Amino acid sequence: MEQLRKAITTISPLSHESMDVYLSAWKHWSVAKDHYLLREHAVSDYIYFIKKGVARIFYHKNYKEITEWIAMDEQFFLSITSFFNRTPSHLVIHTLEPSEMYGIHHNDFMRLADQYHDIERLLRKMVTSSLILSQIRVDSIQFESAQQRYDRLLKYSPRIIQRVPVSYIASFLGVTLETLSRIRSAK
C-alpha cells in the first residue's frame, strides 16, 4: 500500500488518522489480462489505483472502440461521470496485462469525505486534477499535430509503446493506425 499512500500524499496530504482510515477502505485485487473492471451500461462503483499493470478505458462509437484513457503503473482512474452521478457508464474499463490494483467504493469515499475535512479536500483535488487532464487532452486534440501528441505521450509515458497495442495508442491519440505508423517510422 506504500505506492497508494505516496500517490495520495502527492495529491493532498492527509493527517495520520485520516490516512489510516482512508487506506483501510481500499480493497486490493490482482486481476488477469483482459479482466473487465467496468462494463458498458454498468454504474461505476470504484475509483481505482493501478499499482502495477495497464488498464484501458474506451467507448463504442460507430461500431469502433475509441480509447479514452490508458492508465499505467501508479495512476488513478475511473469513469468519472458514472462514479459521481451514479448513472450507467458509456465507458468500458479492462486490463491489458495482469494487474495489481486497489479500489475504493463510492459510498466509502463519500462517507469518509463527509467525516474528514482533509479527505474531502483530497476528493476535490482528485476531481480537479481529472478535469485538468481532460482539458489538456481536448486541447491537445484540437491544437496539436499528430506528431506533437505522439511526442507528448512518449514524454509522459515512455514505456507505453512496449506495453500497449499500437491500435489502442492510435485511437487514444485520435489518429489512424497508418498515420501513427508514419510518425513512428519517421523517428
Cell numbers given for 52? 502495477
Exposed/middle/buried for residue 161 (C-beta within 10 Å: 0-12, 13-18, 19+) = middle
- pLDDT tens digits, residue range 125-152? 999 999 999 999 999 999 999 999 999 9
- What pLDDT is recorded for position 62? 93
Residues with Cβ < 8 Å from 43, sequence gap 6 or more? 82, 86, 87, 88, 89
- pLDDT tens digits, residue range 65-120? 999 999 999 999 999 999 999 999 999 999 999 999 999 999 999 999 999 999 99
Between CA 64 and CA 139 the distance in angstroms is: 23
Please tell me the number of Cα atoms within 13 Å of 181 on its side-chain side. Answer: 4
Going along the chain from its start, the domains and CATH numbers come out as 2-143 (2.60.120.10)
In percent, how much of the chain has pLDDT > 70? 99
The mean pLDDT of the chain is: 96
pTM score above 0.75: yes
Which of the residue ranges 4-8, 13-17, 182-186 would you say has the lowest mean pLDDT?
A: 182-186
- What pLDDT is recorded for position 160? 93
Q: How confident is the model at residue 61 (pLDDT cuts 50, 70, 90)?
A: very high
- Mean pLDDT over 25-53 rounds to 98
Q: How confident is the model at residue 187 (pLDDT cuts 50, 70, 90)?
A: low
- What pLDDT is recorded for position 186? 83
